[in-house]
């Protein structure tokens, strides 16, 4: 404790107000806890303010801009479509981000969650020091939930600043760049690269692996890559970014491929090589909370750390850095604090989505994981090219794939690449969580004509009784 200061006693404190933190706070309040949430920046955290929400807004604008400019097969012709970038940015901030963040603030107020703006650090296992604009305050808590998220990883030879930007900077550029260089072909780099390619930028992706969009197999990424290259996008794999130099007007990246040095010049350089957990500034060294070698907080399946009354959720824990994972963990942590004996993370599948031009989504087992785990499975694939709704939309690229147990027909995994993949995957996540079989899906009446019908068609294919293929 800080000498001479009196700690204020509180019940449950949540550090961070992102999709994990604010959900945990609301659920804890619903379960009867008096909750205080501490946020050093803006309510809503990275996701709502400078992450998943504003990026999807710009991705949507890119889609609409392409639709307005593209030649269509169904007789609709548009000409003279223009983009008012300032209006786009104003809409993104004022009508999307601000609407959602103010909504979260309202929900916290509705549930009587106290909001404290400041930087929190642990002084011991029971006390936090919160540095605020006008001083600091000590808080002595009964329970704590760490939900501090993550931040972009910087490359030492190309520190952020000027025309070298992170994902946050990429969302607030003063103009659509004519040339955009991206180091890192993961989901963030590929999503933003696709968005700016749709908006007219010449995009070059530099990736150290032999492929981009790691986590999605080659069959899934094929239509994504085809679309990106059709728009003039360039992907350079097996490449090592070395250094970057910039002027007032442009930035040059030096990279090597097979030992040979190359350079590419752009208006901006986006570095998107991953994110690092925000655990190093929390004062966890003053506690008994155990960390992994990677700086992640070790947790049990009820989100409990090595200190029984301290919990951790979201990006500071192992596993995919996904907002919906953090939200789910937040509900578990709140329930565990409330004494619910069933508060454990026992989910079978965690959906993941890439909001590329052609969306991709996956949950549960993949063909590769099934083989690695020596599972006896059936792989069934139905193309959107055979779906009436997709044909009527002119969006026939991609497919739905089911991984099912050969003996029981239980759905073990699913992948979707194609229109509305991000929405369709939820049905299959539900099926996996509830142990449904392909017959359970095929015997469920799906409305016609819909994209969701393709899920039923894939299940019928798995059952050996396909109608539309």
Q: Average pLDDT for consecutive 10-residue bins of the chain (469 residues)?
A: 73 98 98 98 96 97 91 82 96 97 98 98 98 95 98 96 97 97 98 97 98 96 97 97 97 98 98 97 98 97 98 98 98 98 94 98 98 98 98 96 98 98 98 98 98 98 97
Verify cis geometry, omega within 30 degrees of 0, for the bond prior to 62: no
φ/ψ of residue 55, rounded to 5: -65, -40
Q: Which residues contact 396 (CB under 8 A, 6 or more apart)?
A: 383, 384, 385, 387, 390, 418
* Residue 291 near residue 276 (C-beta atoms within 8 A): no
Per-residue pLDDT tens over the stretch 144-158: 999 999 999 999 999
The continuous run of DSSP H or E covering 445 comes out as none
What is residue 442's three-state secondary structure? helix
Note whether 253 and 266 are within 8 A (CB). yes
Question: What mean pLDDT value characterizes the chain?
Answer: 96
Overall fold of domain 8-152+276-337: FAD/NAD(P)-binding domain (3.50.50)
- Residues identified as active-site: 448
| Distance from C-alpha of 50 to C-alpha of 18, rounded to nearest angstrom | 11
End-to-end CA distance of the chain: 69
CATH topology for 359-462?
Enolase-like; domain 1 (3.30.390)
List pLDDT tens digits, range 10-38.
999 999 999 999 999 999 999 999 999 99
Q: Do the first three CATH levels of 8-152+276-337 and 359-462 match, i.e. the same topology?
A: no
Q: What is the pTM of this model?
A: 0.96
CA–CA dist 437, 428 (Å, integer): 10
**Residue ranges covered by each domain of the chain:** 8-152+276-337, 164-273, 359-462
Given 3.50.50.60, 3.30.930.10, 3.40.50.300, 3.30.43.10, which CATH number is that of 164-273? 3.50.50.60
């Amino acid at each position: 404790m800080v000498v001479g200061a009196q700690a204020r006693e509180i019940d449950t404190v949540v550090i961070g107000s992102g999709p994990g933190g604010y959900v945990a706070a609301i659920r804890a309040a619903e379960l009867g806890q008096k909750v205080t949430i501490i946020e050093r920046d803006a309510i809503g955290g990275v996701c709502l303010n400078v992450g998943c929400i504003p990026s999807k807004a710009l991705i949507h604008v890119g889609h609409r801009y392409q639709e307005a400019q593209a030649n269509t097969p169904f007789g609709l012709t548009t000409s003279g479509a223009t983009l008012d970038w300032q209006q786009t940015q104003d809409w993104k901030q004022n009508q999307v981000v601000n609407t959602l963040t103010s909504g979260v603030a309202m929900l916290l107020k509705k549930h009587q969650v106290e909001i404290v703006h400041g930087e929190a650090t642990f002084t011991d296992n029971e006390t936090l020091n919160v540095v605020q604009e006008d001083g600091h305050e000590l808080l002595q808590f009964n329970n704590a939930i760490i939900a501090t998220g993550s931040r972009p990883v910087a490359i030492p030879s190309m520190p952020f600043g000027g025309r070298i930007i992170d994902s946050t900077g990429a969302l607030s550029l003063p103009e659509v760049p004519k040339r955009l260089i991206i180091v890192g072909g993961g989901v963030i780099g590929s999503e933003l690269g696709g968005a700016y390619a749709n908006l007219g930028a010449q995009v070059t992706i530099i990736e150290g692996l032999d492929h981009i969009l790691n986590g999605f197999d080659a069959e899934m990424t094929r239509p994504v890559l085809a679309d990106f290259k059709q728009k003039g996008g360039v992907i350079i794999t097996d490449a090592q970014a070395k250094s970057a130099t910039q002027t007032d007007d442009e930035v040059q990246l030096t990279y090597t491929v097979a030992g040979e040095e190359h350079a590419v010049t752009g208006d901006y350089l986006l570095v998107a090589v991953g994110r690092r957990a925000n655990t190093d500034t929390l004062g966890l060294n003053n506690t008994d909370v155990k960390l992994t070698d990677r700086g992640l907080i070790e947790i049990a399946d009820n989100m409990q750390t090595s200190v029984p009354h301290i919990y951790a959720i979201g990006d500071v824990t192992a596993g995919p850095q996904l907002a919906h994972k953090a939200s789910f963990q937040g509900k578990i942590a709140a329930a565990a604090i409330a004494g619910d004996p069933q508060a454990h993370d026992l989910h079978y599948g965690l959906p993941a989505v890439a909001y590329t031009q052609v969306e991709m989504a996956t949950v549960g087992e993949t063909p590769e994981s099934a083989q690695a785990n020596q599972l006896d499975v059936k792989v069934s694939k139905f193309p959107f090219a055979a779906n009436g709704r997709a044909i009527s939309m002119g969006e026939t690229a991609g497919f739905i794939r089911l991984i099912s147990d050969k003996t029981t027909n239980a759905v073990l995994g699913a992948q979707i690449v194609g229109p509305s993949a991000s929405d369709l995957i939820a049905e299959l996540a539900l099926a996996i969580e509830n142990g449904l079989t392909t017959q359970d899906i095929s015997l469920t009446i799906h409305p016609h004509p819909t994209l969701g019908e393709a899920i039923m068609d894939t299940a019928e294919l798995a059952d050996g009784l396909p109608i539309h293929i």
